[in-house]
Structure 1
Amino acid sequence: MIRSLSRTALTLDIVGAALLFIVFTPISVVFYAPNPSELAAPAVAALVVSSILLFGGVSIGRLSPALALMAAWAGAILQMLAGFGPLPVDVAILMVLYATSAWGSRTVLWWGFGSVIVGGFIATIYIVVVNGLVLNAASGWNAISTGTLLLILSILALGFAWVCGLLWRVVLRARRTRSAQLQAESLAAEEQERVRIARDMHDVVAHSLAVVIAQADGARYAAAVKPEMATEALVTIAQTARGALSDVRLLLTQLRHRQGDGPQPTLADLETLFAQVRQAGIEPRITVDPTPPGEPPGAIQLAVYRILQEALTNSIRHGDGAVDVHLAWLPDRVEIQVRNTVASGPSQPSGGHGLIGMRERAQLVGGSLQAEREGAQFVVRAVLPIGEGA
C-alpha cells in the first residue's frame, strides 16, 4: 500500500500538488460561473473539498497509488453530487491515473485501467443526465452520435494518462533490468578476477615451493654424507626462492594494473622450468614431435607453460622421480601429455587447486584437459587449439 519514497521526492510532490490546487481551484470556480456570487456557499465548499481530495491524491501518487486512486474517486463523486460538471481541477484525475499505472502494484495498475473504463461511462452518463447535453440535441440520432462521441472522448482522455504512466513503468522496469544486469556482470567479473588471482598465485608460488622443499629435504640427508651436495642444494634453494620472489612481484604488478601488463612465460622459458625440475631430483624425459610449425600465439604459450609447470610440480610432490613429457605441435592444435609414476603411499589427489587451475588454463584458450590415474601412473592430457595461422 505504501511505497518507499525519499523525503525529498515526497516534499516535491506535496508542494507541486499544493501549487496546482492554488492555481486550478479558483479557475474552476470562475470557469463554472463567471459570477461567483451566484454560487451557493455549500456548492463552493463542496468544490473546495473535492479539489482537496483530488490534489491530495496527486500529492501521494508516488507514495501510495492505491490511496491516491481512492482519494480521486472520492473527490470526483463529491464533485458530481455537488452538481458540478467537468472542471479544470479534474486534471488531477489524469495525474492520479498516471500514477496508478506508473508506480502502482499489478493490482492497482488494473484498478486504474478499470477506473478509466468505468469513469468514462460515469462521466458520459453524468453529462447526459445532469447537464442535459445530449437531451438538448435536435434528433435521436444526433443524441446517440453525440453521446457516443462523448464516451469515446472521455475514455480516450482518461486512457491517455493511464497509457503514459504504463510507458513510464516500462522505462523504469527496463532501467531496473539493466541495473540488475550490470550488477550481475560486475559480480561475475569480480568472481573471475578472484579465480584468476588464485590460479596465478598457485601457478607462480606452488612450483617454486615444491622445488625448495625437495632441495631442502635432500640437503638435510646429504649434509652428513656429502657436504658439497648440501651446498649445491642450498644454492638451488636460493636461486629458486629469488625466482619465486621475482614472479610474485610481477604478479602483484599485474594485479595492481591489468593481467598481461608485464612479461608472461613463453616456450623459451620451458628449458628453465625443466632445469628447476632436474635440480629438485626429477629427470623429465621430454619429447616434442612434431615441433611447432611457427610462432604459437602468446596465450597458447602461456597455457602450455603453466600446465606443464603444474603437472611437473605434482610429479615432484607425488612422483617417484620419473616423468615423461610429450608435446605434439599439430597445425591446428597442440597436444600435451605428462605421465609420472605415483610413489607408494597416499594416492594422487584428484581435486586440488592445481588441477582446477590447469583445467581453467585449458578452457581459457578453448581447449580441454583431463587428469586421472591409470594404474600406477598419473596422466595429464590437454588439447589446446592454435588455428591454422599458428
Structure 2
Amino acid sequence: MTETPFSRAKLRTDVILAVVFGLMGLPFALLGNAADLFALVLFVGALAVRRFSPPWSLGVAWAGATVQMAALRDLQIYDFAVLGVLYSCAAHGGRLVKWLGLASAIGGAAVATVYLQFVKPLADGASGLGANDLLGAGFVFVASVAVLVLAWTAGLLARSVRDGREVRRREEVANRERSLAQYRFSVEQERNRIARDMHDVVAHSLAVVIAQADGARFVSRTRPEAASGALETISGVARGALGDVRVLLAELRHHEGGAPQPVLDDLGALIEGVTGAGLEVVFDEQGERRELGTGHQIAVYRIVQEGLTNALRHGDASRPVALRLAWREDGVDLEVSNYLRPDDAEVASPTPAATRHGITGMRERAQLVGGTLTAQAGDDGVFRVLARIPAQPGVTA
C-alpha cells in the first residue's frame, strides 16, 4: 500500500513532467533504433505513475532497463528516469516497495556494472578482460551505488519530513480538541456550581417574598404602615431575585440544591483560612460599600476565593498577596495580585495551564452578573486578577 493517497492533480503533474522528460530524450532515442524508442516509452511511463503506483513504476523501469540491455544499447539520457523512480519508491511507496527500491538501487548498480564492463565490451568484440577492466568495474559499481542510493535516500528524507509534519499536525489538532474539551468541561462544571448558587438565592428570595406577602395580607387593615413596610421589602427582594432569575434562564439549563452560599461578610473567614495555610494576605478595602445582590456577593466571594487559591498553589508563598476592593458608585473593583515563583515557567506563561480552569470559572461568574474579569501575568512577575462587579440597587448588602 502506498503512503500517498491517489490525487488526480498529482497524477496530472507527474504525467506532464514525464512527457517533458520524454521529449527531452526523444532526439537521442531517434539516433538509435526501435529498442531505444521502446525503452524511452517505458521509462516515461514509469515516471508518469511514480507517485500514483510506485510498485508499477519500479517494475516498468526494470522492464525498460531490460529492453535496453537486451538490445545491447549504450547508456542514454532517459536512463536518468531511474533516479526519479527510486526517489518515489522511498518517498511514496509502502514498506515493501520502499525496501525493494533500496534493493533495486544496489542490485541495479551491480547489473549495470556487469553489463557495461563485461557484457557490452565482449558483445562489441573485445578480445579479453584485464586487471584494468576489473579496476574499472569496481569504480563503476561504487559510483553507480552512490548515485542510485543517493536518489533513494533523498526520497526517504522527504518521506521523513512529510511524516514529521503530519505527526505535528495531528498533535496540534489533538491538542486543540483536548483544550476545547477541557474548556467545555470547566465551563459546564462552573455552570453547575453557579446553578446551585442561584438555586439558593432564588429560593431564599421567594421565601422572603411569600412570608412578607402573607404578613402584609393579615395586617393590611389593622396596621397599614406595617403592610407598607412589607411591600417595600418585597419590592427590594423581588428585584434582586428577578436579576438572578434572568441570569439563570439565560445561561443555565438546570439547577441543583446546595449548601448555604457565602457573601461579602464571609471574606474575613476566607482570608483567615488562607493565612492559616501559610500565605500572607494584605487586604485593602476602599470607599463605602454599595448595594450588591446575593448573587453578586457570591460572585465577588468566589472570585476572591479562586484568586487566593491560585496564589497559594502556584504563587511565591514567601511574598504577600494583595487583595483590594475599591467601591464605586456603580459597583466594586476587585484585584487579587501575587508574585509568581521564579522557577514556575508554566504559570508565567500567558495562559498558564495550572490556573486555566479557575480563570474560566472566575470569568464566567463575573459575566453572569454583568461584570468583567481579566487575569494575566505582567512583565514585573506579578499575576493579577482584575474584576469589576456592578452594584444592584434596591437590595441591601
TM-score by length of 2: 0.59
Q: Please give the secondary structure, in 2, of the residue aligned with 1:5.
A: coil
Give the deviation of 1:185 after TM superposition.
Answer: 2.0
Equivalent position of 2:233 in the other structure: 232
CA distance in 1, matches of 2:71, 2:119: 11
**d(CA) in 1 for partners of 2:17, 2:205:** 80
Query: Closer, same or farther in 2 for the Cα pair 1:139/1:65, shift >3 Å?
Result: closer
CA distance in 2 between partners of 1:135 and 1:294 (Å) = 105
> Where does residue 164 of structure 2 map in the other structure?
174
1:88/1:150 CA distance change after superposition, 3 Å: same
Q: Distance in 1 between matches of 2:300 and 2:170?
A: 34
Cα 1:331–1:91 shift into 2, 3 Å: closer
Answer whether contact 2:21 2:44 (CA < 8 A) is retained: yes
Identify if the C-alpha distance between structure 1 residues 69 and 389 changes in structure 2 by more than 3 Å, giving closer, same or farther: closer
User: Is 1:125 aligned to 2:114, yes or no?
Assistant: yes
* Residues 167 and 18 of structure 1: CA distance in aligned 2, closer, same or farther (over 3 Å): same
Partner of 2:9: 8
SS at 2:5 equivalent: coil
2:36 aligned with 1:47: yes
Q: Which residue of 1 aligns with 2:178?
A: 188
Q: Which stretch of structure 1 is more off in the superposition, 168-177 or 229-238? A: 229-238
Distance (whole Å) between structure 1 residues aligned to residue 318 and residue 300 of structure 2: 17
C-alpha distance 140-284 of structure 1, shift in aligned 2 (>3 A): closer
Matching of residue 60 in structure 1 with residue 57 in structure 2: no
Determine the structure 2 residue equivalent to 1:73.
62
C-alpha distance 137-205 of structure 1, shift in aligned 2 (>3 A): farther
1:235 counterpart letter in structure 2? G
Q: Output the amino acid matched with 1:213.
A: A
Query: In structure 2, what is the equivalent of residue 293 of structure 1?
Result: 282
1:315-354 equivalences in 2 (<5 Å)? none
Q: Normalized against structure 1, the TM-score is what?
A: 0.60
Rate the CA distance shift 1:285–1:306 in 2: closer, same or farther, 3 A. closer
- Aligned identity (percent) is 24
Please tell me the residue identity of whatever aligns with 1:364.
T
Name the CA shift for 1:22/1:51 in 2 (closer, same or farther; >3 Å): same
Query: Are the aligned partners of 1:137 and 1:143 in contact in 2 as well (CA < 8 Å)?
Result: no
Deviation at 1:193, TM superposition (A): 2.9
Q: What displacement does 1:215 show? A: 2.0
Matches within 5 A, 1:1-390: 1=1, 3-30=4-31, 44-132=33-121, 140-204=130-194, 206-220=196-210, 223-225=213-215, 232-233=233-234, 235-242=236-243, 274=263, 286=269, 288-289=271-272, 290=275, 292-293=281-282, 305-306=302-303, 364=355
- Please state whether the residue corresponding to 1:223 is helix, strand or coil: helix
Using a 3 Å threshold, how does the CA distance of structure 1 residues 79 and 286 change in structure 2: closer, same or farther? same
Q: Which amino acid aligns with 2:140?
A: L
Displacement of 1:168: 0.8
**CA distance, structure 2, for counterparts of residue 239 and residue 304 of structure 1:** 18
For residue 221 of structure 1, report the CA deviation from its aligned partner.
5.0
Q: Is the CA contact (8 Å cut-off) linking 2:212 and 2:234 kept in structure 1? A: no
**Counterpart of 1:67 in 2: which secondary structure?**
helix
Question: Which one-letter code corresponds to 2:66 in the other structure?
Answer: I
Displacement after TM superposition at 1:49 (Å): 1.9
- SS of the equivalent of 1:293 reads strand
The structure-2 alpha-carbon separation of the partners of 1:284 and 1:60, relative to structure 1 and needing over 3 Å to count, comes to: closer
Which structure 1 segments of 5+ residues have no match?
Answer: 34-43, 253-271, 296-301, 310-329, 335-361, 368-387
Paired residues of 1:72 and 1:93 also in contact (CA < 8 A): yes
Moved more, 129-138 or 57-66: 129-138
Amino acid at match of 1:211: V
The CA distance in 1 between the partners of 2:382 and 2:52, in whole Å, is 63
In structure 2, the CA distance between the partners of 1:160 and 1:285, relative to structure 1 (3 Å rule), is closer
Alpha-carbon distance, 1:23 to partner:
1.7
Partners of 1:274 and 1:189 lie apart in 2 by 33
Q: Deviations over 1:97-129 (max 9, x none)?
A: 010001111111100000011101101011122
Q: Is the 8 A contact 1:100 1:112 kept in 2?
A: yes
CA 1:18–1:231: 2 relative to 1, 3 Å: same
Q: C-alpha deviations, 1:320-362, integer Å up to 9, x for none?
A: xxxxxxxxxx85699xxxxxxxxxxxxxxxxxxxxxxxxxxx9
Q: Tell me how far apart the structure 2 counterparts of residues 203 and 333 of structure 1 sit (CA, whole Å).
A: 29
Higher relative contact order (CA 8 A, sep 6+): 2
Q: Distance in 2 between matches of 1:61 and 1:192?
A: 44
Q: Is the CA contact 1:293–1:331 (under 8 Å) kept in the aligned structure 2?
A: no
User: Does the C-alpha gap of structure 1 residues 70 and 304 become closer, same or farther in structure 2, counting only changes over 3 Å?
Assistant: farther
Name the CA distance, whole Å, in 1 between partners of 2:18 and 2:80.
11
Distance in 1 of aligned mates of 2:35 and 2:8: 31
